[in-house]
Amino acid sequence: MAPAISKPLLSDLVAQIGKVPLSHIRPVGDRPDLANVDNESGAGIPLIDLKKLNGPERPKVVEAIGRTCESDGFFMGMLRVAREFFHLPESERLKCYSDDPKKAIRLSTSFNVRTEKASGGHLRDGSELRALALRLLEAISESLGLERSHMVAAIGRHAQHMAVNYYPPCPQPELTYGLPGHKDPNAITLLLQDGVSGLQVQRGGRWVAVNPVPNALVINIGDQMQALSNDRYKSVLHRVIVNSAREREDLGADVLLADALADDGHPLAYRPFTFQEYYDEFWNMGLQSASCLDRFRGPEDP
Ligand SMILES: O=C(O)CCC(=O)C(=O)O
Ligand SMILES: [Fe+2]
């Protein structure tokens, strides 16, 4: 039987009332300010041919990955799954509903429904992408001047989350978000967007649109990579805005860390912590700030 939930799913609510429900309207100071988004320079987010990691040009690709991890934390590397799922009858969709953000497979309506009022429809679920993520971790190790296997070994046991995010058309996109500004808590995120824009990254204090490039993955560094690289690589603030004309979907795969610890020859910026500790803190703080890395700054015993 479908679980009883206190809030209707947002996609159904919007279709019924044709406007953003009051509960989902953001305070005036916390709205997307759509007129003030840089839609052009997102083209400057590097497009890297990952196939070349397997050939003679590997050193150049590794260097390009390192450069972009140090500056933007974002680079670029289609699906009908979400649309099919979200067009199923409500009773079928509710079978997947859970408000527990740590559950690997769940239907939800925001980043953290326990604390957030932001809009969105998300089917979080959890293969080939893992293999690519591990190859990227190898390239990232090399870009930091480490052995190819360093990051994967440092990470040790790891898990992967997969999320299918679905954003229904929103009649008043200026009043709310698809996902509010956040940094990813994991090590690395691989994202396959459909053809609809919505993802934005903060660069130099401005929001820049990461417009979809056909067949390209968007890859971004998360908090664990920032800690593992001892702050050399940055976990980057990003958000998703919605639009009134088109639904949008994407598929994201995150590599999570079990045990994060780094020493690249500099004083450690963070005290040793396990990913479980970090993940608990991240969800408990409820997106009050974009990341909780500062709470893990060390050393523990000065
Ligand atoms: O939907 C997107 O484009 C980004 C999703 C995202 O940032 C996330 O799931 O953490
Ligand atoms: Fe994200």
pLDDT digits (tens, 9 = 90+) for 264-300: 455 677 877 777 788 888 888 766 566 788 888 876 5
Q: Say if CB 198 and CB 267 are below 8 A apart.
A: no
- Domain of 259 in residue numbering reads as 38-296
Name the residue of 74, 86, 191 to mutate for ligand 1: max ligand atoms within 8 A of Cβ. 191
Beta-strand ranges (E) seen in the chain are: 37-38, 74-76, 106-108, 121-125, 158-167, 179-182, 188-193, 199-203, 206-209, 217-221, 238-240, 248-257, 259-260, 273-274
Range with lowest mean pLDDT among 2-11, 51-60, 122-131: 122-131
Per-residue confidence band for 119, with pLDDT thresholds at 50, 70 and 90: very low
Range in 60-64, 134-138, 155-159 the model is least confident about: 155-159
Helices (H), 222-274: 223-228
Q: Does the residue 147 lie in any domain?
A: yes
Choose one of 199, 210, 224, 248 to mutate for the ligand 1 pocket test, by most ligand atoms within 8 angstroms of C-beta. Answer: 199
Q: Which amino acid is at 115?
A: T
Residue 210 maps to a domain:
yes
Q: What is the pLDDT of residue 84?
A: 57
Residue 148 — very low, low, confident or very high, per pLDDT cuts 50/70/90?
Answer: very high
Q: Residue 65: in which H helix or E strand, if any?
A: helix 58-71
Long-range contacts of 67-73 (CB under 8 A, 24+ apart): 69/140, 69/143, 69/221, 69/225, 69/229, 69/232, 69/233, 69/234, 70/232, 70/233, 70/234, 72/45, 72/46, 72/201, 72/203, 72/236, 73/201, 73/220, 73/221, 73/233, 73/234, 73/235, 73/236
Of all residues in the chain, what percent carry a pLDDT higher than 70?
72
pLDDT digits over 193-243, tens only? 888 889 999 888 889 998 888 778 888 988 888 888 888 998 989 999 988
pLDDT confidence of residue 41: 57
Is 215 inside a domain boundary?
Answer: yes
Residue 289 in domain: yes
Which atom of ligand 1 has the smallest separation from the CA of 238? 7
Ligand 1 pocket check for 179: Cβ under 6 Å: yes
CB-based contact 126:144 (threshold 8 Å): no
Percentages helix, strand, coil for the chain (3-state, rounded to 5) are 30, 25, 45
> How many folded domains does the chain comprise?
1
Is a pLDDT exceeding 70 seen at residue 154?
yes
- Residue 50 covered by a domain: yes
Output the average pLDDT for the chain.
Answer: 76
Q: Is 163 in the pocket of ligand 1 (CB under 6 A)?
A: yes
Residue 246, C-beta contacts closer than 8 angstroms, at least 6 positions apart: 169, 196
pLDDT value for 16:
72
Q: Does a structural domain hold residue 16?
A: no
In a domain, 21, yes or no: no
CA proximity to 247, closest of 291, 198, 287: 198
> Which amino acid does the sequence have at 186?
N
Split at pLDDT 50, 70, 90, the class of 67 is: very high
Instruction: Please enumerate in sequence order all residues whose Cβ is within 8 A of that of 110, keeping only pairs 6 or more positions apart, or say none.
Output: 116, 117, 118, 119, 120, 122, 179
Enter the ipTM: 0.97
Q: Are 123 and 85 in contact (CB under 8 A)?
A: yes
pLDDT at 120 over 70: no
Asked if residue 65 has pLDDT above 60, the reply is: yes
Whether 127 has a pLDDT exceeding 60, the answer reads no
Q: What is the mean pLDDT of residues 73-83?
A: 59
Say what the pLDDT of residue 285 is.
Answer: 77
Query: Of the bound ligands, which one is closest to the alpha carbon of residue 122?
Result: 1
Specify the higher pLDDT residue, 148 or 126.
148
Of residues 33 and 131, the one with the higher pLDDT is 33
- Is there a domain that residue 218 lies in? yes
Cα 16 to chain centroid, rounded: 29
What integer pLDDT is reported at residue 251 of this predicted model? 62
Residue owning the nearest CA to atom 3 of ligand 1:
199
Cβ proximity of 45 and 201 under 8 Å = yes
Confidence of residue 143 (pLDDT cuts 50, 70, 90): very high
* CATH number of the structural domain spanning residue 202: 2.60.120.330
Inform me whether the pLDDT recorded for 4 exceeds 50: yes
- Cβ proximity of 208 and 202 under 8 Å: yes
